[in-house]
Amino acid sequence: RSTCTPLNFAAISLGQTVTGMWTWDLMRLVDYVVTRDDCDPERIGCAGLSGGGLQTLWLAAMDDRICAAVVSGYFYGYRDSLLDLNSNCGCNYVPGLWQAVDMGDLGALIAPRPLLVETGDEDPLNGARGLDNVYEQVSITRDAYELLDAGELLVHDVQPGEHQWFGVTAEPWLVERLTGDRPTR
């Protein structure tokens, strides 16, 4: 059972959302991280699975200090995966959002910075249309990347499996984006 649903109800009654509060908090975290001597502000990345994917997507979309992002287990059409399934965590719900945009539009806000979307081919959160739902959203994002002549900076990695972190492609990809080094594994 999700602990986010009651939090989101409380947030909405205050004119906010859990997603908005998380994004604000993460942006304040980046404010702090860039003040540290052991941080290179030109090499800040973010990666997350599921709710962490939600937070990564929103942070990267709203804060251009994120140089590269990996969104895992969280990149699908809102209607298919959130409205029709109707059993997802309350943190996914932002009033009025679906009337104007879909998840691929949020991904488009990250362009032209590097973005890797990691998807399990059997993830039940992909909704009834499965991978077609995910491909549709990636296509929306890809249009923005191509418009900015940055199509090669968007990667969609589909792995065999359900709702899980795979990392097979994502981890070395992120290391390379942030360090310029090719990992040995």
Dump pLDDT digits (tens) for 100-115.
899 999 999 999 999 9
| Nearest by Cα to 46 from 20, 17, 23 | 23
What's the token pair of residue 123? 């993830």
Task: Give me the pLDDT at residue 185, please.
Answer: 43
Residues of the chain with pLDDT under 50: 184-185
For residues 99 and 22, what is the distance between their CA atoms, to the nearest angstrom?
22
Please, what's the b/e burial string for 12-43 (b: 16 or more CB within 10 A of its CB; e: otherwise)? eeeeebbbeebbeebeeebeeeeeeeeeeeee
| Predicted local distance difference test score (pLDDT) of residue 95 | 78
Q: Which domains does the chain have, with CATH numbers?
A: 4-179 (3.40.50.1820)
Element (H, E) at 46: strand 45-49
Amino acid letter, 81: S
Residue 182: predicted pLDDT = 61
pTM (predicted TM-score): 0.92
Tokens (6 digits) for 85: 């399934």
Please give the DSSP secondary-structure letter assigned to residue 101: -
153 close to 112: Cβ distance less than 8 angstroms: yes
CA distances to 71, 131, 142, 149 from 61, rounded to whole Å, are 11, 23, 14, 18
Position 2 scores a pLDDT of: 61
Helix (H) or strand (E) holding 180: none
